[in-house]
Structure 1
């Protein structure tokens, strides 16, 4: 990170991830109040690790993010309740598709390109896992890298990626294996559904050509 963009804390990274997620999935309630932002940070699903933050902790982290122009304050249309919006992509100088990738990594922990593609579906639709991989490689190749590919785990077919928003990590140190979860099952189901749709499309093309 540059001097103007110091490493984020776990709470700060989680807040940015939630703001990016909710901007895409629930635009009618975005920007978020402290209360709704705290609830998003403490969700039991689609979060790794699961946190149990107090509003005071979220408020303190918001102040730190605001001082770095990563979060903006607004009273929205009502003009009564203070709300918060992210300024993540602009501050970090990131193209659109990279923002949801880093958000999902910050929310769900290390993932493979295929898992990221499935988990990003509601935020951004990637053509395939190779498109996700290309953006991740670009993030890893920046002057101040924002992502890193982890060593392949025993028995794993794909390598996982991890964000570096909270600073560099020791990739030689073994990370805990991803625990089976509803979120992980959801990602695998989504990936399979995408592959079936691609195969069905290919079959239709072949039939149309009389092959």
Structure 2
């Protein structure tokens, strides 16, 4: 199966995949959490400054395409977003942890050399 994603869709999915692993206690993410993740200044190429409405539009498109799903949030009327792009009971794409890490890196940082993919990148502090 071939997946076609816009740059903004790739950023949203990449952020959800990343946060699912790095901050599982905050996952699924609220719309505000997705906006913050998309606009993060470290480990992103290019750095973006997306508005909540821009992110919401991408989330809506990805839900319609069955790449994401909404789940009930802790705050009434505030849905959270969960990945169904891979490794979920709702999708056919099953990836190992290493494959998820590579896909996430490519979605968040764009094209990388093999050396960049093999070596861990240190966060800019």
TM-score after normalising by structure 1: 0.51
Shift of 1:113: 3.1
Map 1:90-109 → 2, pairs under 5 A: 90=87, 91=91, 93-96=93-96, 97-109=98-110
Give the aligned CA root-mean-square deviation in angstroms. 2.0
Relative contact order, CA 8 A, sep 6+: which one is greater? 2
SS at match of 2:29: coil
Q: Secondary structure at the match of 1:84?
A: strand
Deviations along 1:182-208, one digit per CA (max 9) or x if unpaired, are: x6xx28xxxxxxxxxxxxxxxxxxxxx
Number of residue pairs the alignment of both structures matches: 118
User: Given that residues 88 and 99 in structure 1 are in contact (C-alpha distance below 8 angstroms), is that contact kept between their aligned partners in structure 2?
Assistant: no
- Alignment equivalent of 1:48, drawn from 32, 42, 45: 45
1:46-67, Cα deviation, whole Å (9 max, x unpaired) = 0001111011010001111001
Find the partner of 1:60 among 39, 43, 57. Answer: 57
Q: Which has the larger radius of gyration?
A: 1
The residue aligned with 2:31 is: 34
C-alpha change, 1:37 and 1:105, in structure 2 (3 Å) is same
Question: Which ranges of structure 1 fall in alignment gaps of 5 or more residues?
Answer: 120-182, 188-211
Q: Is the 8 A contact 1:44 1:50 kept in 2?
A: yes
